[in-house]
Amino acid sequence: MQTKSFSLIPLLIALAAGTLATPSVTFAAQHHATKPVAQKKKAAPATDPTPLLAAQVALAANPPELPAKAWLLMDFDSGEVLASANADEPLPPASLTKMMTSYLVEQALRSGKLKPTDLVSVSQNAWCRGSSTESCMYLPLNSQATVIDILRGIIIQSGNDASKAIAEHMAGSEEGFAKLMNAEAQRLGMTHTHFVNPTGLPDPDHKSSAHDLALLARAIIRDSADYYPIYAEREFKYNGIKQGNRNALLYTDPSVDGLKTGHTEEAGYCLVTSAKRNGMRLITVILNTHSAQARADESRTLLGWGYSSFEKVTPIQPNAVVANAKVSFGKADTVAAGLGAPWLLTVPRGQQVQTTVELNPGLEAPVAQGAVIGKVVATSNGKPVGEAPLVAQANVERAGILLRLWQHITGLFGK
């Protein structure tokens, strides 16, 4: 294959414009210089038919309205949806599909089913013929590439060839891999998703929802710590071809570290993003907006509203004794109950949080330190906002038979 190279000048121009084009191998600046104020004074152009979509769920005031078919903002720690619109409608996900492809690769690497240095063969079916209508890693026909290079090709270059090749390597065919994808989607609770292929190429039965894709993004961040940094890499060079990550926010917002772009004519421009600021990680999903510029701008808007509207609070300190639970038939009558791990909640800024303790009834010795013996529930404005388990802070051994008999008798008279 002839070696290809690309100038950095178009990339720099694209970055200056605040966006990167898709899905061509080369990058080009797009012209979206009209100011938002000017847009409000005149009707939307014929090329931008997407109406503003107001929030249907919002846990804080003044959520944005966005020109997309679906959008969502999720708190990573709790998985709570902070604001959304059309979040459960199954829509074409385009290359956002590849988040599930990369997730399955990452989990196979974690479990040892795959090794980073394993070689993956490129079949006629997987081979990308260089068409500008699809995104490719440009794996040569009948060549082999390592799993870790394939993973980068999927995440950074959005390679259809890389996705097909690893699907065939892991499951024998795209169809077999789609079964793995759907099984994993079911395990993650993605109830409005059905995958047909590992690439996101159009198919009437290939759908996902904004909420499901946020669940998938959360799983990647949580379960793929060793490989998640790849989602923040801005470029990858393979076969002499250097391509930049199409997530424009990676170049303009240092708090953004993933995840994936997508685009087909049917799906529009899509983006799943995650950012972390001051200990708070948020996930955004934008589905079917009208341009690469728009998907980046809408994600920025969602992140800006989220970080300005919510804050992290600690209702109870980890080392605090929350309550003393009564223990029957033990060498001690009570055991201290406290949090087993730090507890953080994401709530609207300035909102007061109250807590109530619920201890398990009928607690009997022996009780092991760390055993769950109740829970603490947090509420705000009368609504539950989270809960955490309470665990025993010490061991309580079972009393001898005479002491247990005495406790039983005194308990009878106590009634």
202 burial via Cβ count (<10 Å: 0-12, 13-18, 19+): middle
CA-based R_g, the chain, Å: 26
Backbone φ/ψ region at 192: left (φ over 0), alpha (ψ -120 to 50), beta: alpha
Measured distance CA(285)–CA(58) in Å, rounded? 15
Tell me if residue 173 is catalytic.
no
How far is 36 from 414, CA to CA, in rounded Å? 74
Query: In whole angstroms, what separates CA 259 from the centre of its chain?
Result: 8
Give the integer Cα–Cα distance in Å for 300 and 273.
Answer: 9
Asked whether 350 and 333 are in contact (CB, 8 A), the reply is no
Answer yes or no: 276 catalytic: no
Candidate list 84, 102, 135, 158, residue with the active-site label: 158
Give catalytic status of residue 158 as yes or no: yes
Secondary structure of the chain as H, E, C letters: CCCCCCCHHHHHHHHHHCCCCCCCCCCCCCCCCCCHHHHHCCCCCCCCCCCCECCCEECCCCCCCECCCEEEEEECCCCCEEEEECCCCCECCHHHHHHHHHHHHHHHHHHCCCCCCCEEECCCCCCCCCCCCCCCCCCCCCCEEEHHHHHHHHHCCCCHHHHHHHHHHHHCCHHHHHHHHHHHHHHCCCCCCECCCCCCCCCCCCEECHHHHHHHHHHHHHHCCCCHHHHHCCEEEECCEEEECCCCHHHHCCCEEEEEEEEECCCEEEEEEEEEECCEEEEEEEEEECCHHHHHHHHHHHHHHHHHHEEEECCCCCCCEEEEEECECECCCEEEEEECCCCCEEEECCCCCEEEEEECCCCECCECCCCEEEEEEEEECCEEEEEEEEEECCCECECCHHHHHHHHHHHHHHC
Marked catalytic residue, from 69, 84, 95, 102 = 95
For the annotated catalytic residues, the residue numbers are: 95, 98, 158
